[in-house]
Amino acid sequence: MPDLSSRQVSQLPPLQAIRVFDAVARHLSFTRAAGELAMTQAAVSYQIKVLEERIGAPLFLRRPRQIVLTEAGQRLAPAVGEAFAILGQAYAAVRGGADGLLCVTTVLTFASNWLAHRLGSFQIAHPALAVRLETSSRLTDFAREEADIAIRSGAGKWPGLEAHKLFDADFTPMLSPKLAASIGGVKEPADLLRLPILDPGDIWWNEWFSAAGVHSHDLARRPGSSMGAQAYEANAAIAGHGVAILTRALFKAELADGRLIQPFDLVGDDGHAYWLVYPEARRNVPKIRAFRDWLLAEIAC
């Protein structure tokens, strides 16, 4: 049983009764107030009676053709009206404001290598929507962080969350053409070992070399991959500092314009992928739907 300690219990009367009173005071009619409130005249009569009994004084005088406010009612009505105006305004602002700001949290690489180029087209399509982009390497907990949508990688199953697959988190070595030329070209996987390996501890290297049939026990091992922070290694690779193992979908542009080359068709895949996720319960929130639809369409291109 809770105690009644902290703060004086305001002991406000039933709020529903006050809302009804507000409508009646504006209309000076039970019947018309009932119309506005979408309830019956009897219900309005009941609520007013409740309020009057709670206050201990009548709020309206029942005259033949109409009702009029008593002195008590006249004192109460303006304040109630103001309070509900504030409430309604704030509520509308929150709905509007919440609709106008979209918080997307994503891993860095996806933001810089994929989203950044295309976000403009989303904002043109939805000029009323402001997008706040946050990057974080940790998984997003929607209950704990303020985010509407997250881009995360994983197996695609999270309880309570709806997930749309964007693309596979595959991996394959990439390097700058200049670096490849420096050793006369990269012809077969083993050639890579003659070059600096960027982030050799990444488990992806091990998996890829195994798949390629290359013995690579001299590479350090780390429990995870650097997925999500590929942008750093990619920059190093473009600068010619070494070979990086990267996800193709994130470097389409670099591969297309020749800043990076993918020497082998062999692509590793540990079953993980990039996903767009959001709480199931919010699946129909307009701004979330807008972003989801836009992003999936872009991915499909």
Partner DNA sequence: TATGACCCATAAGGAGGCCTTATGCCGGAC
Partner DNA sequence: GTCCGGCATAAGGCCTCCTTATGGGTCATA
Distance in angstroms (rounded) separating the CA atoms of residues 143 and 146: 8
For 59-108, the DSSP string reads: SEEE-SS-EEE-HHHHHHHHHHHHHHHHHHHHHHHHHHHHHHEEEEEE-H
What's 13's DSSP letter?
A: P
Which residue number, 55 or 255, has a Cβ lying nearer to a copy of itself? 55
Which residue number, 32 or 259, has a Cβ lying nearer to DNA? 32
In the bound complex, what is the minimum distance in angstroms from residue 196's beta carbon to DNA? Answer: 37
Binding site for a copy of itself (CB under 8 A): 2-7, 9-10, 12-13, 15-16, 18-19, 27, 32, 34-40, 53, 55-58, 61-63, 70-72, 75-76, 78-80, 82-84, 86-91, 93-95, 97-99, 101, 142-146, 148, 281-282, 285
In the bound complex, what is the minimum distance in angstroms from residue 18's beta carbon to DNA? Answer: 10
Distance in angstroms (rounded) separating the CA atoms of residues 42 and 232: 70
Q: Within 13 Å of residue 105, how many CA atoms lie on the same side as its CB?
A: 16
Which residue number, 37 or 198, has a Cβ lying nearer to DNA? 37
Report what 235 binds from DNA, a copy of itself, none; CB cut-off 5-8 Å by kind. Answer: none
Q: Which two tokens stand for residue 166?
A: 């964007």
Which residue number, 160 or 286, has a Cβ lying nearer to DNA? 160
Report what 65 binds from DNA, a copy of itself, none; CB cut-off 5-8 Å by kind. Answer: DNA
Binding site for DNA (CB under 7 A): 1-2, 14, 16-17, 20, 29-31, 38-43, 45-50, 62, 64-67, 143, 160
Report what 83 binds from DNA, a copy of itself, none; CB cut-off 5-8 Å by kind. Answer: a copy of itself
Which residue number, 95 or 252, has a Cβ lying nearer to a copy of itself? 95
In the bound complex, what is the minimum distance in angstroms from residue 62's beta carbon to DNA? Answer: 5
In the bound complex, what is the minimum distance in angstroms from residue 52's beta carbon to DNA? Answer: 9
Report what 117 binds from DNA, a copy of itself, none; CB cut-off 5-8 Å by kind. Answer: none
In the bound complex, what is the minimum distance in angstroms from residue 283's beta carbon to DNA? Answer: 16
Question: What is the residue whose two structure tokens read 């540990």?
Answer: 270
Distance in angstroms (rounded) separating the CA atoms of residues 239 and 241: 6
Distance in angstroms (rounded) separating the CA atoms of residues 34 and 99: 31
41, amino acid identity: Q
Which residue number, 15 or 124, has a Cβ lying nearer to DNA? 15
Residue 10's Cβ-count burial label (10 Å; 0-12, 13-18, 19+) is exposed
CA angle 200-201-203, nearest 5°?
A: 105
